[in-house]
Structure 1
Amino acid sequence: MDNDGRLDWRKVGYHARSAFAVLLSLSIIIGGGWFVYDRANDAYVAWRTADDYAGEGTGEEVQVLIPRGAGVNQIGDILVEAGVVKSIKAFRKAAQESGESDQLSYGRFNLTKELPAQTAFEMLLDPENMVVLTVTFPEGTPNSQQWDIITRDLEVPADAIAAAAANIDYFDLPEYAEGNLEGFLFPSTYNVAEPPNPSWIMASQVRQFKTVAERLSLEGRAEELGYTPLEVVTIASIVAREVSTPTDQPMVAGVIYNRLAQGMKLQMDSTVHYALGKYGKVTTTAEDRANPSPYNTYYHEGLPPAPISNPGLTALEAAITPATTDALFFVTVDLDTGETRFAATAEEHAANVALFQQWCQANTGRC
């Protein structure tokens, strides 16, 4: 405004030009700063990711196997090879800075490709990402069939299994086992470390047998029954092969003890199958039963010299607590339902065998 109260446009223009100059200077300063920041940030990201990935990975899943005893560098190398991390250096740095590198475990893990090393490290520590390998041995499975399962399910060569089993001193067997693995490879489901080692698997089974035997007071119960612990395990191994229904197993054990007490041959087809290494059918032929193997209880009186299978908990319980019965015979009359009938006389048994034969005639090739 001039002295007359009117706008002085020259002064307005002057101040406007000054304000514009200030705003222009600020914009140049701010713009230049943003430019510098943007360039600096790009340089930092480039530096940071030169040996590492950024982001959350590609989403493409990959499994990696970390062997037992692998160190941080070896694990990093495996992850680089699998496309999980970009460099061993980045993984080693993440492990060192975490202070938890000693928590890394061996095994198989589900990961994602192109992960930041820190993320990959954290995923390896998370048990949710571990792939647990298992193997299952059914009750009453002889050693030879257990080893077939290991070969089939874990892809372990048969010769490697045979070599492991031959090294008896490796296994902490009970003294009463007398060096027999048969009967002492407890049937159950086991977690298996990778790569699968048959010696470790069998050692775990022996440990589990000893745990169960101690819980059952097997040695003490055997003494009360008047048998050695090995004989009781042998009886349990026959029980496990003859019937799989837990409620029938004490009765089968009772039949075995009764026949032994009376000096009768056991005449168990399961012992013939073991002697011949023939499985798949429940019956035997006259030629089979004439085999002189010490395991053939049609040919020899008394128990086989050692177990014929690996009994589980229910069969071992049956062997140490047999049913009180006068039965001397039994036969499973229906292989589908497992129905088993017991008899105290040969006449009753013959009638039960006739029922079994009827079932076999109706189910050709099953017996």
Structure 2
Amino acid sequence: MRRIFLSFLLVIILAPLGYFAFSMYWPQTLPKTGKQVPIRLGSGTLESIQALHRAGILPYPQMFRLAWMLAGHPILQAGLYDFQGRVSQEQVLERLRNGQSTPLNLVIIPGWTLAMVLQELHSHAPYVNLHTLPADAQAARQLADLGIGAHDSAEGWLFPDSYRYVPGTTALSILKRAYQRMQANLRHLWSQRAPGLPLQNPYQALILASIVQKEGAPPAQQAHIAAVFLNRLRKGMPLQSDPTVIYALGKHYQGHLTAQDMQVASPFNTYLHAGLPPTPISMPGMSSLQAVLHPSNSQDLYFIAQANTYHYSSTYAQHIRQIKQYLQATARVAS
């Protein structure tokens, strides 16, 4: 009788342990397509467990919570988690405590405008929290009021790079990181700038770098193009940069500039107004920033691009001759 009682007692003790071990270590087979579960930033442990349970990743959520408690209440890291094949609850716990999630990145490309960055952010929904993100025509000023940008505008102030985030990250926090990166890089480059530049402050360097960036030249040509624009500033000549007119036209730009377009009444039209436009026209990358602050040693005032070949000249007469040669070469190719 005693032996039966001890056996019964042993079963009572081991059965829960066996159930716990089964629920935690016996893997379940997921669908061929797998499962993807976002654990959002700021989610509590119970909220995270419920999200995994609803997705079919945790068939025994109470056992998972017990295992989490026995493990010392580790933080379950926010992230986008992909589960494939056969997965046990113990493996899920290890992945979440170590943050082994799928990388999410917002990439800002050199030459993008603020409107393009905001459009890209919207494409990252629902993983990016877009709450309080300005989206109207006054977004540049509104972001500056929120501490993202300076001189009443966020245009030009977001450093092109890849910014990793986890689900639930606010769009404003990502933009803040990009702004701080641009601030730090611009401050460092300005402190080591070449002497004698006709620029009064780092913001003017940022504006000119944004124009050099939008000219679309390869990095090897940017320092020479920057020198042309800087020489024009020294002489009080208009910069006459097509990208500034395109920026002024905004949504009215049809893919090519017409004679009428060149007369658009805007402070950004550098054919009509000498000096720099009021704000940057794009997000300049590192190479264009360096080009403006360390330009080529050149007296050139003009340039034209022929495919990937650039022709520079220091006089208007030379410039006209190069334009004629370019047009003749183009005509020969067309015929």
Answer yes or no: is 1:169 the counterpart of 2:178.
no
The AA in structure 2 aligned to 1:266 is L
Aligned equivalents of 1:235, 1:42: Cα separation in 2 = 74
> For residues 47-62 of structure 1, what are the structure 2 equivalents within 5 Å?
47-48=19-20, 52=23, 54-60=25-31, 61-62=34-35
The alpha-carbon deviation at position 172 of structure 1 amounts to 5.1
Aligned equivalents of 2:166, 2:131: Cα separation in 1 = 18
Aligned equivalents of 2:47, 2:276: Cα separation in 1 = 54
Aligned equivalents of 1:313, 1:195: Cα separation in 2 = 29
Unmatched 5+ residue regions in structure 1? 1-29
Aligned equivalents of 1:288, 1:238: Cα separation in 2 = 18
Counterpart selection for 2:322 from 330, 334, 352: 352
The alpha-carbon deviation at position 191 of structure 1 amounts to 1.2
Assess if the C-alpha contact under 8 Å between 1:139 and 1:187 holds in 2: yes
Deviations 1:286-318 (A, max 9, x none): 111111200101111111111111111011101
Number of residue equivalences: 322
Counterpart of 1:19 in structure 2 is none
The alpha-carbon deviation at position 133 of structure 1 amounts to 1.0
Counterpart selection for 2:179 from 178, 187, 206: 206
Assess if the C-alpha contact under 8 Å between 1:53 and 1:86 holds in 2: no
Unmatched 5+ residue regions in structure 2? none
Larger radius of gyration: 1
Counterpart selection for 1:254 from 209, 214, 227: 227
Counterpart of 1:139 in structure 2 is 110
Answer yes or no: is 1:333 the counterpart of 2:306.
yes
The AA in structure 2 aligned to 1:270 is P
Aligned equivalents of 1:331, 1:47: Cα separation in 2 = 76
Aligned equivalents of 1:291, 1:88: Cα separation in 2 = 64
Counterpart of 2:163 in structure 1 is 190
Answer yes or no: is 1:267 the counterpart of 2:237.
no
Aligned equivalents of 1:343, 1:158: Cα separation in 2 = 51
Aligned equivalents of 2:71, 2:326: Cα separation in 1 = 68
Aligned equivalents of 2:42, 2:69: Cα separation in 1 = 17
Assess if the C-alpha contact under 8 Å between 1:83 and 1:113 holds in 2: no
With over 3 angstroms needed to count, the CA separation of the structure-2 counterparts of 1:121 and 1:313, relative to structure 1, is same
Aligned equivalents of 2:162, 2:324: Cα separation in 1 = 38
RMSD: 3.4
Counterpart of 1:308 in structure 2 is 281
The AA in structure 1 aligned to 2:323 is V
Task: Give me the TM-score of the superposition, normalised by structure 1.
Answer: 0.76
Deviations 1:315-342 (A, max 9, x none): 11011111111111112211xxx32221
Aligned equivalents of 1:53, 1:362: Cα separation in 2 = 75
SS in 1 for 2:247: helix
With over 3 angstroms needed to count, the CA separation of the structure-2 counterparts of 1:83 and 1:351, relative to structure 1, is same
Answer yes or no: is 1:148 the counterpart of 2:124.
no
SS in 2 for 1:182: coil
The alpha-carbon deviation at position 182 of structure 1 amounts to 0.7
SS in 2 for 1:248: helix
Counterpart of 2:291 in structure 1 is 318
Counterpart of 2:62 in structure 1 is 89
With over 3 angstroms needed to count, the CA separation of the structure-2 counterparts of 1:339 and 1:38, relative to structure 1, is farther
SS in 2 for 1:301: coil
With 295-304 and 196-205 compared, the bigger mean Cα shift is at 196-205
Aligned equivalents of 2:254, 2:324: Cα separation in 1 = 21
Task: Give me the TM-score of the superposition, normalised by structure 2.
Answer: 0.83
The alpha-carbon deviation at position 350 of structure 1 amounts to 2.5
With over 3 angstroms needed to count, the CA separation of the structure-2 counterparts of 1:58 and 1:329, relative to structure 1, is same
Counterpart of 2:92 in structure 1 is 120
Aligned equivalents of 1:205, 1:353: Cα separation in 2 = 40
Counterpart of 1:109 in structure 2 is 81
SS in 2 for 1:225: coil
SS in 1 for 2:240: coil
Aligned equivalents of 1:78, 1:358: Cα separation in 2 = 67
Aligned equivalents of 2:54, 2:326: Cα separation in 1 = 61
The AA in structure 1 aligned to 2:102 is V
The alpha-carbon deviation at position 107 of structure 1 amounts to 1.3
Aligned equivalents of 1:208, 1:303: Cα separation in 2 = 23
The AA in structure 1 aligned to 2:227 is G
Identity of aligned residues (%): 28
The AA in structure 2 aligned to 1:121 is L
